[in-house]
Amino acid sequence: MTIVHTHRGTRAIQRLVEYAPSSGGLALWIKHRDLCEAPAAVTAANDGCTIFYGPGFASLSLPAQTALVAHEVLHVALRHRPRYAALRGVLGDVDLQLFNRCADAIVNSALGHLTWLELPASAVTLEQVLLEALNRRETPEQALLAWDLERLYRAIDDRRPSVPALGRRGASARREGAQGSTREQAGDAQEDGASAGTWRPDGPRAALVRRLGGDVLDDLWPGPDEDHPEDAPEQARAWGERLLRAHTGDGQFSLLRTLLADLPRVRTPWEHLLRTHLTRGLSLQPGLSWSRPARSYQANKGRVGAHGRLPWEPGRTAARAVARLVVMVDCSGSIEDPLLDRFAQEVEAASRRLEARIIVIIGDERVTAVQTFEPGRSNLREIVFNGGGGTDFTPLLREADRHRPDLGLFLTDLQGPADWRPAWPVIWAVPVAYQDVAAPFGRKLVLG
């Protein structure tokens, strides 16, 4: 007897492969499973590896089923659930429902050009979110080429500081009721902070995006990939290659519409990049010493054979006794405390490891404070930012030049002029909200 393995999404996948053989075929890389005891409101969801189908899926028309399967396939292929876990590891507090709404908007815009799919009437698109929440008018193609999920979430998440959550029963509680009965893994329904006894009230942008999403249930569920973060780079690389091949194969009929900015990619944490830059800039560089010979010259006693003499070969010596790092801080910028803490930890650890002295220069339009610290000791975490003032980088750069640094690190939002360029290298450390602002010179490092 032949056993045929089917699930509720089988016909929809067949339709996907019929209309978009390459990109629709991405569904064949994903596991599919029916949920027998799920509430009728649950139609489909995914955990980053498997797409789950609830009983409500069967009541949809075939074009609507196809759209829903394509939606979940792109969530998995674009690695949205693992990227939520990664972003939570960076920021600490990421609202799952808000993140899910942003991911839905990107996926819906990617599928919006396909006439053989039937997206729900309530489907929220990326261009709609940009227009209504950020007052940015962009075409779907422009938006998909410019906005990835992390950037969109950061722009939308304007929640206010935490307050006690006693007695609160909001979107997370509704999500728990809808999904908690389907899978035990959905126990992180409160992971947006309410489970810790606090919650963050929505700002206007976050509240608007939640309203746009209506009562749509979250479809990014916890999955097995989150227990093995070491596999994430390889999975991201594999899915990135599959998506590029699939898009090339289908052309204008591709599920991706255009080559998305949201394609999964291996992201190098900014902390690693900062360590690399600091190590290269502050490591002791050997120099020539004409006052003493090289070891090879000494070993041969300056001779070649019985009568020949070697030319003088200078030795090597450290070019400096102590490396100097100048950290310039633009106090008119807006750097959040958690980000400043992480930045300070990295700088202090690097200065301790490389035995580098730190000169901290603080100012806006003028220099307001200059302090020198021995390796591994600085007060970067105690800096108070006074937003709203003017900015001119030139006075801070000229003050830094007086200390003859080996490397300059400028913490700023890049909202100001730099009319003078020093001879030593400069790294501009910029919050992600200002990642599109061009640096006047040197390297730009986005603190995400």
In the chain, the percentage of residues whose pLDDT exceeds 90 is: 39
The answer to whether position 273 is within a domain reads no
**Number of domains comprising the chain:** 3
Please report whether residue 380 resides in a domain.
yes
Q: What is the pLDDT of residues 51-67, one digit of tens each?
A: 999 999 999 999 999 99
Same domain for 95 and 241, yes or no, is: yes
Q: Quote the domain boundaries for residue 100.
A: 10-267
State whether the Cα torsion 305-306-312-317 is positive or negative: positive
Indicate the average pLDDT of the chain.
81
Alpha helices in 333-436 (DSSP H): 337-354, 393-402
74 lies in some domain:
yes
Instruction: Give the C-alpha separation, 331 to 303, whole Å.
Output: 62
Residues 90 and 192 grouped into a single domain? yes
Task: Please tell me whether residues 373 and 440 are part of one structural domain.
Answer: yes
Q: Are residues 365 and 305 in the same domain?
A: no
Q: Which residues on adjacent β-strands are paired with residue 44?
A: 53
Interval 346-400: pLDDT, tens: 788 777 777 788 888 888 888 888 888 887 666 666 666 555 567 889 999 999 9
Average pLDDT over residues 408-433: 89
The predicted structure's pLDDT at residue 268: 63
CA 288 – CA 435 distance, rounded (Å): 41
293 and 327 share a domain? no
Same domain, 299 and 252: no
Is the domain of 312 the same as that of 336?
Answer: no
Residue 1 belongs to a domain: no
Same domain, 82 and 188: yes
Residue 64 forms part of a structural domain: yes
Are 342 and 366 in a shared domain?
yes
Could you tell me if 41 and 121 lie in one domain?
A: yes
Q: How confident is the model at residue 335 (pLDDT cuts 50, 70, 90)?
A: low
Q: Mean pLDDT across the stretch 267-284? A: 72
Q: Check whether residue 128 and residue 257 sit in a common domain.
A: yes
Q: Does residue 109 sit in the same domain as residue 191? A: yes
Give the best-scoring range by mean pLDDT among 116-125, 218-227, 291-300, 360-369. 116-125
Please report, for the domain that includes residue 408, its CATH number.
3.40.50.410
> Is there a domain that residue 138 lies in?
yes
Q: Could you identify the residue written with the tokens 């289908």?
A: 250
- Is residue 440 classed exposed, middle or buried when 0-12, 13-18 and 19+ CB atoms within 10 A define those classes? middle
Please, are residues 348 and 428 in contact by the beta-carbon 8 Å criterion? no
3-state DSSP assignment of residue 239: helix
In a domain, 272, yes or no: no
Query: How far, in Å, CA of 56 to CA of 45, rounded?
Result: 12
CB of 54 within 8 A of CB of 182?
yes
Q: Is residue 376 part of a domain?
A: yes
